[in-house]
Amino acid sequence: MKLTFNLNGRTYILIAFVLFLITFIVYYLTGEGQKTPYDYFVPLADSFWHGRLYLLDNPSWLDELLEVNGRYYVIYPPMPAILLLPQTLFSGLNANQTLASVSVGALNVSLVFLLMRRVVQNKRLQLWMALLFGFGTIHWYLASIGKAWFFAQVSSFFFLIIAVYETFGKKRPFLIGLLVGASFWCRLPIVLSLPFFLIMLSDKWYHGSEENFFDKISFLPLFKLGAGIGIFIALNFIYNYLRFDTFSDIAYSIQAEKEPWWYPKGLFHISYIATHLKVLFLKLPIFMSTPPYVQPSFQGMSILITTPAFIYSVMAGMRNKISIACWLAIIPIALIAFLHGGTGWMMFGYRYAVDFYPFLLVLTALGIQSNMQGRVDLRWEHKLLIILGILVNIWGVLWINKFGWVSLWI
């Protein structure tokens, strides 16, 4: 399909809708074929409807519930459960968290396509980037499974990618703040992406031509951005106080104390960094002498294998506003992940990277566009790396979900 003609807004929406349908079908059909048993957010959403912040039961398969005074609490932030409220209103505990994950995941692919319209001019690259994200990254695996940990990341990406989209559009600080806050209430490290939005909105709050410092700063846009995020930070404080009589988010710390084999030096420690870096950049699949000869490792796999096209992110430059903003979001989110005691156990690829995927996608698109050097079409090596990523993710999703060919070996 040669996209050499002009596309109007309606055509983009139509393409985004087609992408949603295709992605939904592919994600649904390549899943495990049943709803996940690790649906922590379903009973939590059902509890919300009954005016509770806790679960009444402690099913054996939900082994990460936190018991306090005979009540069972979900340790993860509750926004994914809020997304499930409409479904649980009608289906109760029979609600399908995996179906919700597939739906949100399919929306994410369409949103990436629409974002690329604002990031790069080349129409072919816009579509290729949507295909790269939808089928050439581990987002496919996470969304198709829908386990609580994965659904939280898929949901977090949903809110964050809309925030990035708004940042490249009308730049409404309060709305951006709300979206970042909603993403934070799916995955707490997302709050560390704030430097991206401060830099990208600098034309609204900073006027460098003025001599007086206070004339240089417009505090209203900053207040609006902070207020949007602050609503969810305040809600998180209140949520924890109602559960644990403290404003601190102690659930993860208590869980870490219960699992010293994962957290021998506490929830966060500098000694964990090396293990994360090994998984992120060096971890290979498992090679065997018998069929199927090669298997994914549930301990993770290098991002350079699962999505080799991400290498173009380093070609986006380091001195332009967008690149600086993206890296100043990626680095702190990655660092807090690297300091964490667990690497994201039982996964395909390195799932913590999905927390900063929106910024990595922007950098990759800009890097490829720069490397195209004004060409109408992508170079063959661009397409090759994107296609290789798609093939790797097809392999991983089908091997794990359909054949159960996955290894726990180191």
40-68: per-residue pLDDT in tens?
Answer: 999 999 999 999 999 999 998 998 899 99
- Encode pLDDT of 350-371 as tens digits: 999 999 999 999 999 999 999 9
- Assess whether pLDDT exceeds 90 at residue 408: no
Residue pair 88/46 in contact by the 8 Å Cβ criterion: yes
- Assess whether pLDDT exceeds 90 at residue 249: no
Helix (H, G, I), strand (E, B) or coil at 359: helix
Q: In this predicted structure, what is the pLDDT of residue 1?
A: 41
CA dist., res. 301 & res. 308, Å (int) = 12
What average pLDDT does the segment 194-223 reach?
89
The dihedrals phi and psi of 406, each to the nearest 5 degrees, come to -145, 145
Residue pair 23/134 in contact by the 8 Å Cβ criterion: yes
Q: In this predicted structure, what is the pLDDT of residue 211?
A: 67
Cα-Cα-Cα-Cα dihedral of 367, 368, 371, 372, to 10°?
-150
What average pLDDT does the segment 252-278 reach?
89
What average pLDDT does the segment 78-97 reach?
98
Q: How many percent of the chain have pLDDT more than 90?
A: 83
At a CB cut-off of 8 Å and minimum separation 6, what does 410 contact?
Answer: 297, 299
Cα-Cα-Cα-Cα dihedral of 278, 64, 80, 364, to 10°?
0
What average pLDDT does the segment 94-120 reach?
98
CA dist., res. 168 & res. 35, Å (int) = 36
- Encode pLDDT of 212-233 as tens digits: 777 789 999 999 999 999 999 9
Q: In this predicted structure, what is the pLDDT of residue 6?
A: 59
Residue pair 61/37 in contact by the 8 Å Cβ criterion: yes
Strands (E), 50-155: 65-68, 71-74
Q: In this predicted structure, what is the pLDDT of residue 5?
A: 45
On average, the pLDDT of the chain sits at 94
What average pLDDT does the segment 394-408 reach?
91
Q: What is the pTM of this model?
A: 0.95
What average pLDDT does the segment 305-322 reach?
95
Q: In this predicted structure, what is the pLDDT of residue 163?
A: 98
What average pLDDT does the segment 131-153 reach?
98
pLDDT band, very low/low/confident/very high, at 255 (cuts 50, 70, 90):
confident
What average pLDDT does the segment 314-338 reach?
96
pLDDT band, very low/low/confident/very high, at 318 (cuts 50, 70, 90):
confident
- Assess whether pLDDT exceeds 80 at residue 4: no
What average pLDDT does the segment 199-205 reach?
96
- Assess whether pLDDT exceeds 90 at residue 180: yes
- Assess whether pLDDT exceeds 90 at residue 259: no
DSSP 260-316: TTT-BTBSB-GGGHHHHHIIIIIPPPEE-SSTTSEE-BTB---HHHH-GGGGGGGGS
Q: Lowest-pLDDT range, 139-143, 185-189, 287-291?
A: 287-291
Domain locations in the chain as residue ranges = 9-401
- Assess whether pLDDT exceeds 60 at residue 12: yes
